């Protein structure tokens, strides 16, 4: 059962009137999306959706803001920090409305390196194609986020944080009459390491990435990282059912708060007529949800699954061996909030594999690792390079995406389940890179 009053609490109008301080162009002649993010390929200018344009983003540890993808359901709002607040409602001793000043300075400060990836990354490789933004490989980046541990705020205001509870977090940018961008995050994870983040790579979060404050859920798919947060609601269940669909809705009968939690971001095979809604689920890890199809029909996109990307050589690039006669293949790999065990690289389109070695910084468990693979005696001509990661539980990226007729709900037979919305693609062959070797 959902709890707590809905109407009139914390759902502020998304946009402040004047905006000359936060760097959003707001259509007033400031720099365009293209100018602000020279490293991105634009999928739609409004709402702003853009992904890393080049493979080279996946050679470095930290992704600069200019190369960090943007995924918006509604246009980036124009917000003044001094006007913004975040309310805490539901099962708490004291309901409050926190200013940015309080969020920043009344609690401690923490940082986390997080590989953020859109659940739709790799969607364009689905066959048959599915609707939505046609992300290729570039809707993922690794950045340092700084903010306030949500656990401290919950503790201070006497929130009920028992096992199985949820913190439902809402964005404030939706245009009138649209569904509120809302995610229900399991309390266990909230208490563990989530932040209300106001800083990205040491600078204020940019308007497009959630200024002045976003939820940061380390290791979990991008959709859980609610931007422009203006309300957090403590509940016994996820948002589900009539109370959250109608009461307090901009228009009666709208899904309002449930859309982005229950209808969207679910693994739905071809045969299902939409996703089944749950109040709670026994496991939160996405990979484990997919395995437990007797309990969960349609996995929720929470923790990210193991994945890797080659950053060098880039797609279509012509490269020549070093004086030592080798080519160093470089890339990144991640596994949500689980650890990585290994990365393998194939230089012959997946027929044979050799183990890569990790290098570069290690900062917590939710940031990616860089890997390198020394390709000995590459022959001149065309080659297909692939990489595959294995996490510390032994889960390995599958080779391909299944046929819809297979009606898969989990990763099986070296195949990623084709699903109606194209979520979670971690198959390695669609992400392979074609390059040409010439004599040096
Ligand atoms: N309020 C709000 N939060 C949001 C979204 C949104 O549209 N509105 N998009 C989500 C999705 S689907 C993703 S993948 C990430 C993208 O974060 P980024 O734009 O900073 O890369 O933000 C999430 N948070
Ligand atoms: Mo996303």
Alpha carbon nearest to ligand 1 atom 21, residue: 70
What mean pLDDT comes out for the span 7-29?
40
Buried b (16+ CB within 10 A) or exposed e, 162-182: eeebbbbbbbbbbeeebbbbb
What mean pLDDT comes out for the span 236-240?
97
Alpha carbon nearest to ligand 1 atom 12, residue: 223
**DSSP labels, 63-86:** PPGGGS-EE-SSPPP---GGG-EE
| Any atom of ligand 1 within 6 Å of the Cβ of 173 | yes
Domain-embedded: residue 377 = yes
The pLDDT score that the predictor gives to residue 13 is 35
| Any atom of ligand 1 within 6 Å of the Cβ of 116 | yes
| Any atom of ligand 1 within 6 Å of the Cβ of 71 | yes
The pLDDT score that the predictor gives to residue 29 is 67
Domain-embedded: residue 158 = no
Task: Tell whether the model's pLDDT for residue 253 goes beyond 90.
Answer: no
Token pair of 331 as six digits: 């890339």
pLDDT tens-digit map of 221-236: 999 999 999 999 999 9
The pLDDT score that the predictor gives to residue 27 is 52
| Domain carrying residue 420 | 307-437
What does the chain come to in residues?
A: 440
Q: What are the distances in angstroms from CA 22 to CA 48, 82, 319? A: 16, 11, 42
Alpha carbon nearest to ligand 1 atom 2, residue: 227
| Any atom of ligand 1 within 6 Å of the Cβ of 206 | no
Q: What are the distances in angstroms from CA 237 to CA 28, 98, 132, 167? A: 42, 24, 29, 9
Domain-embedded: residue 343 = yes
Please report which ligand is nearest the Cα atom of 214: 1
**DSSP labels, 228-264:** SEEEEEEESS-S-SHHHHTTT-SSTT--TTSIIIIIS
pLDDT tens-digit map of 163-181: 999 999 999 999 988 999 9
Q: How many domains does the chain have?
A: 1
CATH number for the domain that contains residue 430? 2.60.40.650
Closest ligand 1 atom to residue 69 Cα is 21
pLDDT tens-digit map of 316-358: 999 999 999 999 999 999 999 999 999 999 999 999 999 999 9
Q: Which residues lie closer than 8 Å to 178 by C-beta, 6 or more apart?
A: 74, 250
Domain-embedded: residue 67 = no
Share of the chain above pLDDT 90, in %: 88
Domain-embedded: residue 205 = no
Domain-embedded: residue 84 = no
Per the prediction, the chain carries an average pLDDT of: 92
| Any atom of ligand 1 within 6 Å of the Cβ of 72 | yes
Domain-embedded: residue 238 = no
Task: Tell whether the model's pLDDT for residue 5 goes beyond 50.
Answer: no
Centroid of ligand 2 to alpha carbon of 239 (angstroms): 19
Q: Which residues lie closer than 8 Å to 42 by C-beta, 6 or more apart?
A: 33, 34, 49, 50
Name which of 299, 139, 296, 310 is nearest 225 in CA terms: 139
pLDDT tens-digit map of 123-134: 999 999 999 999
Alpha carbon nearest to ligand 1 atom 18, residue: 70
Question: Which of 51, 72, 174 for a ligand 1 pocket mutation test, highest count of atoms within 8 Å of Cβ?
Answer: 72
Task: Tell whether the model's pLDDT for residue 406 goes beyond 50.
Answer: yes
pTM given for the model: 0.93
Please report which ligand is nearest the Cα atom of 213: 1
Please report which ligand is nearest the Cα atom of 123: 2
Centroid of ligand 1 to alpha carbon of 72 (angstroms): 5
Task: Tell whether the model's pLDDT for residue 191 goes beyond 50.
Answer: yes
Task: Tell whether the model's pLDDT for residue 17 goes beyond 50.
Answer: no
Domain-embedded: residue 141 = no
């Amino acid at each position: 059962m959902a709890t707590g009053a809905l109407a009139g609490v914390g759902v502020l109008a998304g946009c402040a009137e004047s905006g000359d301080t936060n760097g959003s162009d707001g259509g007033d002649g400031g720099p365009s999306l293209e100018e602000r993010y020279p490293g991105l390929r634009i999928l739609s200018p409004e709402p702003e959706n853009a992904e890393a344009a080049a493979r080279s983003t996946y050679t470095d540890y930290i992704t600069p803001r200019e190369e960090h993808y943007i995924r918006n359901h509604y246009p980036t709002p124009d917000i003044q920090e001094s006007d913004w607040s975040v309310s805490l409602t539901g099962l708490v001793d004291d309901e409050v409305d926190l200013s940015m000043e309080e969020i920043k300075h009344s609690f401690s400060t923490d940082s986390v390196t997080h590989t953020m990836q859109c659940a739709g990354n790799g969607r364009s490789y689905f066959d048959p194609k599915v609707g939505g933004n046609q992300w290729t490989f570039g809707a993922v980046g690794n950045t340092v986020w700084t903010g306030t541990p949500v656990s401290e705020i919950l503790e201070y205001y006497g929130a009920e944080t028992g096992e199985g509870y949820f913190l439902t977090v809402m964005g404030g940018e939706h245009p009138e009459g649209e569904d509120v961008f809302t995610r229900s995050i399991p309390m266990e994870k909230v208490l563990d390491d989530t932040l209300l983040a106001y800083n990205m790579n040491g600078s204020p979060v940019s308007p497009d990435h959630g200024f002045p404050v976003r939820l940061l859920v380390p290791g979990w798919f991008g959709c859980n990282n609610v931007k422009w947060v203006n309300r957090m609601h403590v509940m016994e269940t996820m948002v589900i059912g009539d109370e959250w669909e109608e009461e307090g809705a901009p228009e009666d009968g709208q899904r309002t708060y449930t859309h982005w939690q229950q209808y969207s971001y679910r693994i739905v095979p071809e045969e299902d007529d939409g996703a089944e809604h749950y109040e709670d689920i026994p496991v939160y890890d996405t990979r484990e949800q997919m395995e437990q199809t007797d309990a969960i029909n349609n996995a929720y996109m929470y923790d990210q699954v193991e994945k890797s990307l080659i950053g060098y050589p880039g797609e279509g690039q012509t490269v020549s061996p070093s004086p030592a006669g080798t080519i160093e293949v470089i890339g990144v790999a991640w596994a949500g909030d689980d650890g990585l065990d290994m990365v393998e690289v194939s230089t012959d389109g997946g027929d044979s594999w050799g183990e890569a070695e990790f290098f570069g910084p290690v900062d917590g468990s939710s940031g990616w690792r860089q890997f390198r693979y020394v390709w000995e005696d590459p022959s001149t001509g065309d080659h297909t390079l692939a990489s595959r990661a294995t996490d510390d539980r032994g889960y390995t990226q599958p080779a391909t995406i299944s046929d819809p007729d297979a009606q898969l709900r989990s990763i099986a037979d070296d195949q990623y389940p084709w699903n109606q919305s194209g979520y979670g693609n971690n198959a390695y062959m669609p992400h392979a890179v074609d390059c040409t070797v010439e004599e040096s």
